[in-house]
Structure 1
Amino acid sequence: MAKFKYTGRDRKGKKSGTITADTKKEALTKLQKSGIRVKEIQQQAETIFTKDITIGRQVKLEHLVIFLRQFATLLQAGVTVVDATVILSEQTESKALKKALKQIELELREGRPLSEAASHQKKIFEPLFINMLRAGEATGSLDETLDDMAEHYERQYRTKQKVVSALMYPAVVGLIAAGVVTFLLVSVVPTFVDMFADFGGELPAITKFVIGASEWMQRYWYVILGLFLLFAAAVWAARQRKETKYYLDYFLLRLPVFGSLLQKAVLARMTRTLSSLFSNSVPILQAMEIVGRVVGNEVIAQVIHQSKDSLERGRSLTEPMKKHWAFPPLIHHMISIGEETGSLDAMLGKVADFYEKEVEAATDRMKSLIEPLMIVVLAAIVGTIVTSILVPMFEIFNAVQQS
């Protein structure tokens, strides 16, 4: 689709913006149907400066939660879907969401349902959101569905923040430690090298080691930087392909301490999403397909697809889960009970509650253990460098006193 920039007027006055369409005629038709009298319209040439470039998620989870809460409130207050979309597009802080809502507004004015209009904004709204909207429209409870979705994304955001904070602490402390060590080796240690050479005595082994490390760092710093950039690029490239992403996710889940935390976070996301879909009457096979696409971990996603295939063959949903190491017994036992009692959404909700609490407790424990450990490691490294300088200094001082 091409982008067209337009200026015109509607009932509220002057209006301008951009619209996507296959042709100029189609763009004009869309604008006219939405009540805009076009004065000027021109196709935008797509260049590197006008092309939208994004890294990661285009709309932050907190912005999406606020949008859903406000949307639900407006609908409950009797505001139409079109007017609610217009109001929220004007006040949201997210530029990407604002742009998507303006496009949705135009399609809504053409008579399309909200779920169809939102499905054309795939970079903003994931399949889970679209299917929940369809379920809400089908049952006539769109406001309740939006509230449920806000609750879902809010829980997901809290869990994500817990995991990020647990992983960020050692990363930040490690970065600071690397910075301090680099500064000492590159700037501080070399100032003492000439002094030790003039002294002429035999240097302690620890001092020789630190001086050697300092000289290597000054000569080959670009090797360390290059290896770091190469590693970052390799990880990024691995995450772009399903085959390599599977092995990367497998490695992360198998990590000591951190792997268990990531596993619980992924299982919490999986069970919470399934619970939300089932409670909104999304068919089970469709729900499994959606969860496999949005769960964010290829190891878990493969088992979910196997469970879907198991259902299609008339077998139990939990059969593949029982055979896989990433799914604890609690998962398949609770799902089996839910299948037998017809309360699968409630059982999955309880499992999600359990794992969300487990993630919270695990992150608190991890931070309390990592903090003293990182301090000890940093003190040991800095202490080694300082000791390597002080020991020869004391020897020089003693030699001066004796002479």
Structure 2
Amino acid sequence: MDVNFQYTGKRISGQKIKGKIEADSKKEALTELEKNGLIIFGIDETKPWNKDIVLNKKVKHKDFIIFLRQYATLIHAGISISDATKTMVKQTDNYALRTALIDIDKQLDQGQALSKAAERHPKVFPTLLVNMIHAGEASGKLDEILNQMADYYEKEYENRQKVISALTYPSIVGVITIFLSMFLLVFIVPQFVSMFNSFGEDIPAFTQFVLNLSNFVGSYWWVLFVVVVLLAILYKYFMQYEAFAYRMDIIRMKFPFLGVLVHKGALVRMTQTLSTLVNSAVPILQSVEITERVVGNHVIRDVLAQSRKSLEVGESLAKPMNDHWAFTALVVQMIQIGEKTGTLDQMLAKAADFYEEEVNQLSERIKTLIEPLMIIILTVIVGSIIAAVIIPMFSLFETL
């Protein structure tokens, strides 16, 4: 893979120059520079400082979609894959994508297939795309496949953003509620403790509870912080285990109010992916296996694994789905019809479109309903803390 070198030297005319060059080795860089008639005084390897490395090791979604469409356009215009790759290397600004394309270009020059070359860069080219490229190479429709995948990733991104958008507001309000409550308990409530003690009056039970909570949070706030960090670490650790990850996906899908959105979003991803693969003439067993790996939901993945085994013994793809709560009647019926009529890709696409529209409507509905709900929760929690301090004060003023 190319390395960056920084050099200083002069031209034959005597003009001093300095610049950068990419090459496999220092020797290759020197040879290239000397070919251009340069006299090199010094050359050193440089470590690239690029915001794409520091801030975003993965390719930005927008850059990736633009790349797929431009690549497809070049191939459709009759340009060879090798020349199209060289062109994309020059046009791509994203460091991670450009680095991968430089390596792919070298692999292509050595006679390697595009799918095999792309497979060397799993962080840039997802498993699904690599398999689709392989299907495009076999069918001679690589340009159509690339455009199809650009549409797929664009839709996937939009659907994911809708789910994230619906969950963002309650998350933000929840964090504000926690911090505001902590501020009141740590800095405001303690100011009234000495005043209540000086009057020696009986304090209401709820006020005493808030005072005790304030004292605990003020003294042991760091314990709460440590507990939160430990829980986050433990969660990440246990998510590596299949049983725990499977249970967490069940909780997400059955969570009150928001679980429906997560559930339908998972079905959209599954039906879109499987439809895209089947439509591209990828064998059904391989299509199901790839969908298992990219669906991103352990519950759906487990049922797909059972469906694949069902296909292997000559039974229906829909049979295991029909017996599982995670698959709706509509999805099962669409798959059954598709299997009987030979239009599985079309039926899956219709199911994906239906649930995609449902996700749109659900996300808008949730945002509309959850905003006032979160404001009420914020008001109740913060208002209760304030009330716990103010109400006893009225009793004290009456006794004066």
Where 1:354 maps in the other structure, the secondary structure is helix
Residues in 2 aligned to 1:199 and 1:61: alpha-carbon distance in whole angstroms: 64
Please show how residues 339-358 of structure 1 align to structure 2 within 5 Å: 339-358=339-358
Q: How far is 1:262 from its partner?
A: 1.2
Aligned position for 1:178:
178
Deviation of 1:215 after TM superposition, in Å, equals 0.2
- DSSP 3-state at the match of 1:240: coil
Match of 1:388, as an amino acid?
Answer: A
Q: Deviations over 1:311-354 (max 9, x none)?
A: 11111111111111111111111111111111111111000001
CA contact (8 A) 2:53 2:96 kept: no
Partner of 2:375: 375
Question: Aligned-pair distance for 1:42?
Answer: 9.6
User: CA contact under 8 A between 1:189 and 1:214: conserved in structure 2?
Assistant: yes
Q: Which residue of 2 aligns with 1:301?
A: 301
Aligned-residue offset at 1:397: 3.5
Looking at structure 2, the residues matched to 370 and 53 of structure 1 have their Cα atoms a distance apart, in angstroms, of 37
Residue type at the aligned position of 1:163? V
> Which segment is superposed worse, 111-120 or 351-360?
111-120
Pair 1:16-2:21 in alignment: yes
Change (3 A) 1:18 1:231: farther
Structure-2 change in CA distance of 1:278 and 1:68 (3 Å)? same
Give the 3 Å change call, closer, same or farther, for CA 57–81 of structure 1 in structure 2: same
Cα root mean square deviation, aligned:
3.2
3-state SS in 2 of match to 1:117: helix
CA distance in 2, matches of 1:379, 1:95: 47
Partner of 1:276: 276
Once the two structures are superposed, what CA deviation does each residue of 1:34-62 show, in whole Å capped at 9, x if it has no partner? Answer: x99xx9999999xxx9xx99999823333
Distance 1:362 1:175 in 2: 23
Tell me how far 1:82 sits from its aligned partner: 3.1
Alignment of 1:86-235 (within 5 A): 86-235=86-235
Of 348-357 and 362-371, the range deviating more from structure 2? 362-371
What amino acid sits opposite 1:229 in the alignment?
Answer: V
* Correspondence for 2:59: 59
Q: Which residue of 1 aligns with 2:11?
A: none
Structure 2: 5+ residue stretches without partners: 8-18
Confirm whether residue 322 of structure 1 aligns to residue 322 of structure 2. Answer: yes
Deviations for 1:188-213, whole angstroms, at most 9, x for unmatched residues? 11122222222332222232121111
Distance 1:211 1:99, change over 3 A: same
Measured against aligned partners, the alpha-carbon deviations of 1:208-259 in whole angstroms (never above 9, x if no partner) come to 1211110010112122112211221122112223343222222222222222
Q: Is 1:387 the counterpart of 2:372 in the alignment?
A: no
Q: Tell me the equivalent position of 2:238.
A: 238
Aligned-partner residue type, residue 276 of structure 2: S
TM-aligned CA deviation for residue 6 of structure 1: 6.0
Change in 2 beyond 3 A, CA 1:181/1:249: same
Q: Conserved in 2, the CA contact under 8 Å of 1:334 and 1:347? A: yes
Helix, strand or coil for the counterpart of 1:182?
A: helix
Give the 3 Å change call, closer, same or farther, for CA 399–175 of structure 1 in structure 2: same
The answer to whether the 8 Å contact 2:6/2:46 transfers is no
Deviations 1:61-81 (A, max 9, x none): 333222212222233344443
The offset of 1:309, in angstroms, is: 1.1
Q: Shift in Å at residue 263 of structure 1?
A: 1.3
Matched positions, count: 380
Whole-Å separation in 2 of the counterparts to 1:102 and 1:121:
11
- What's 1:5 paired with? 3
- AA partner of residue 21 (structure 2): S
Contact persistence 2:53–2:95 (CA under 8 A): no
Which range moved further: 255-264 or 325-334? 255-264
